[in-house]
Amino acid sequence: MRRNDIRNIAIIAHVDHGKTTLVDALLKQSRIFRENQAVEARVMDSNALERERGITILSKTTAVSYKDFKINIVDTPGHADFGGEVERVMNMVDGVLLLVDAADGPMPQTKFVLRKALQAGHQAIVVVNKVDRPQARPNWVVNATFDLFVDLGASDEQAEFATIYTNALTGHAGRSPLKMHDSLEPLFEAIIDRIPAPDVDATAPAQFLVTTSAYDDYKGKIVTGRLYRGTISKGQALVRIDREGNQSPAKLSQLFVYNGLQRQEVESAQAGDLIALAGIGDANIGDTITDALQPEALPTIKVEEPTVRMTFGVNTSPFAGKEGQFVTSRKLRERLYQETERDVALRVTDTDSADVFLVAGRGELHLGILIETMRREGYEFQVSKPEVIFQQGADGTRLEPMELVEIEVANDYQGVVVELLGRRQGEMRDMHVRDDGTVHYVYLVPTRGLLGFRQLFLTATRGTGILNSLFYGYEPIAGDMEMRENGSLIASEGGTVSTYGINQVQDRGTFFVTPGQDVYEGMVVGQHIRDVDLEVNVCKEKHLTNIRNNKGAEVIRLDAARSLSLDDAIEYIGDDELVEVTPKGWRIRKKLLSSDDRRREKKRRDLALA
């Protein structure tokens, strides 16, 4: 039967198209907040990293009331690297709001999230947002979205989607861009009319699928998901069925439903509700919590495999243990495996070394967010250069992951962009020039060609280029490519960086360090102007003598040092380099700190190639 008093929806879109802003407006207009309550923007982005970067990383659940209906809303990430969050959320909902920018139209991540929604059989409402933009072209956007539905194999019913036009910042919506209401009522009405009510069996034994998990200092592990059938109550005898089908008794200590931004504790919940359970500490994502008298497992959650991996290891630099709280391999291993319980798109594997672990994810940003999160928690460790994960084809050929890349650049930069992508085995699939002179490219590029490419692209386009990518699939290896054009400047000895020392060698390249900073032998202190590494002594002091000249003291002017973000550092490093990550910052270093060790290793490689 249909439970008509409730609707479960997910909001999906490309990054920066306004999902979280629209959720803010829905919350405000459903009277979740008091009239005089101060509410910050993007209230759903509760994570500090989400606020700093302006992106959604973790999917979150909220609930609003409209007339006699309760609408459960799941806000999902918009970046392709966090696609695992979107994939598992599709199990919780009955329909989606597909948010599309009124100027940009469907973007790469739009295709990915929409494909997942259509495969799950969901009905979609297309929300054309930012209709107030001067460059808005809503009719073109709706036509392009319809073409996308057809290309992705939507059924006739799915392709007949409702369209709502919104300005999420002001909280206005309408069925036509020329006739907007001063509220989001048209959107609320479309959700009630077009999104199907959950189909439930209220009398059957309880069945709940774990979709997300979080940890609370007071309540312990809290798992969230959808109650597919039956009712669930505190004190009820339950069984947990894991991915392998193993059964174990489960004891429920607290039961919550969502009301606005809060979890509200209740005694029982009915089929169709999105609920959270506390007390089942061994529950993992994809497990089924079911009635003990009639245990039946639901299909487990499946997500696409990772495409990029890197090593996480115990810090072995001369500065090891000085800045971090958690520095041992036991703590590092414990934290990494703990992350796999929350993030099903992440894979962690032990290596031959007890101090090094192999971590695989969806992309550089996916792994970079994990590194930054662990750094802020007090962990100290070192990571290697990201590398792609190859696969073996059915005929024995070696395959590599490919990405569909969409680029928008001004006409002045199209030559340099074509040259950069050509060097990285990019294959142009489409190109057109917009009315404002912006050139739009679609390329198929090997994932390994995009590792470290973003910073190079932004530098070449003076920060004006826009680049979006989406995993395309596995193809035969495209061939060799030139990944790095410059070598590194390496500290030849440890000590404190001096103004005199940098001044003596600053014509050799761009430096990452400043006077007064401590360095050690083998630490990367800058980028060489040539394509080979160079050892420099940045700690050198000027020898004082009793000879004085009449011109006064010599004035030393240093070029400004380049400040690398953690993402920049991970992009920059080469195969023989590591990033040392601590709660106070990060440093780039060579894997082999001694120059003699590096020379011996180079000689050994040359002999092996000969």
Nearest to 414 by CA among 450, 447, 440: 440
**Is 18 marked within a binding site?**
yes
Q: Which long-range contacts (CB under 8 A, 24 or more apart) does 564-569 make?
A: 564/512, 564/588, 566/368, 566/371, 566/372, 566/375, 567/364, 567/365, 567/368, 568/455
Nearest to 467 by CA among 13, 14, 11, 147: 14
**Is 179 marked within a binding site?**
no
Q: For residues 127 and 142, is the Cβ–Cβ distance under 8 A? A: no
Count other C-beta atoms under 10 Å from residue 495's C-beta: 16
Degrees (nearest 5) of the Cα angle 593, 599, 604?
115
Cα 591 to Cα 476, 523, 539, 595: the distances in Å are 31, 9, 21, 11
- C-alpha–C-alpha distance, residues 476 and 254, integer Å: 51
Give Cβ neighbours of residue 374 (< 8 Å, ≥ 6 apart). Answer: 335, 381, 581
Count other C-beta atoms under 10 Å from residue 457's C-beta: 21
For residue 516, with 0-12 CB atoms within 10 Å meaning exposed, 13-18 middle and 19 or more buried, which class applies? exposed
**Is 132 marked within a binding site?**
yes
- C-alpha–C-alpha distance, residues 322 and 324, integer Å: 6
**Is 17 marked within a binding site?**
yes
272: its two tokens: 């169709």
- C-alpha–C-alpha distance, residues 165 and 506, integer Å: 55
Residue 140's DSSP bridge partners are: none
Give Cβ neighbours of residue 595 (< 8 Å, ≥ 6 apart). Answer: 490, 492, 521, 522, 535
114: its two tokens: 């929409």
For residue 520, with 0-12 CB atoms within 10 Å meaning exposed, 13-18 middle and 19 or more buried, which class applies? middle
Widest distance between CA atoms in the chain? 99
**Is 16 marked within a binding site?**
yes
Nearest to 169 by CA among 23, 54, 48: 23
How much is the CA Rg of the chain, to the nearest whole Å? 27
Q: For residues 64 and 74, is the Cβ–Cβ distance under 8 A? A: no
**Is 54 marked within a binding site?**
no
**Is 20 marked within a binding site?**
yes
Nearest to 587 by CA among 465, 463, 494, 486: 494
- C-alpha–C-alpha distance, residues 166 and 172, integer Å: 6
Tokens 């959808």: give the residue.
226
Question: Could you tell me whether strands 247-250 and 238-241 are parallel, antiparallel, or unpaired per DSSP bridges?
Answer: antiparallel
**Is 89 marked within a binding site?**
no
Which residues are annotated binding-site positions for GTP? 16-21, 129-132
Which residues are annotated binding-site positions? 16-21, 129-132
